[in-house]
Amino acid sequence: MLEAGTKAPNFTLPDKDGNMVSLSDFTGKRVVLYFYPRDNTPGCTRQACAFGAAYEEFQKIGVAVIGISKDSTASHQRFAEKHNLPFLLLSDPELQAIQAYGVWQEKKNYGKVSMGVVRSTFIIDGEGQIEKVMPKVKPDTNAAEALAYLSRAD
């Protein structure tokens, strides 16, 4: 997994509407980039809804919020509509950004080992440097912790 102080890898991925979005589009703006395993699962839904509920606060301090998973654009569209998610959801089925950020890792679930996305959040500054890494975050507190960090860091 990448560390704070390193350059955030650029990526270009489709959003829920098929528009191509690059990290470099946000130069000059801080970004909360969070990776999550799957749309419409209990933890991922709680995490996304928490970011949605706090979205206005992120906007007030000029911070963009981007969620990335390997789900399809159609899945993201249904997920965003169902839960009224106001921020960008990007589709990464080829694991381009997921692997570049080092969040595709071995996971153990009930003794079974498989590869998957480790729920992680990166805060990226306006120059494209990773400012803070939040590995293995909890879905219920991730948005509040990111907001608290950003509010202190200004």
Domain ranges (residues) in the chain? 29-153
Q: Which residues are catalytic?
A: 44
Chain-centroid distance, C-alpha 27:
17
- Fold type of domain 29-153: Glutaredoxin (3.40.30)
E strands present in the chain: 12-14, 20-22, 30-35, 63-69, 88-91, 104-109, 112-117, 120-124, 130-134
The pTM assigned to this predicted structure is: 0.96
Q: Which residue has the tokens 């969040």?
A: 103
- What is the rounded CA–CA span in Å between residue 53 and residue 1? 28
Residues 59-75 pLDDT 10s: 999 999 999 999 999 99
Residues 5-35 pLDDT 10s: 999 999 999 999 999 999 999 999 999 999 9
pLDDT band at 153 (very low <50, low <70, confident <90, very high): low
Residues 75-102 pLDDT 10s: 999 999 999 999 999 999 999 999 999 9
Which residues lie across from 64 on neighbouring strands?
Answer: 31
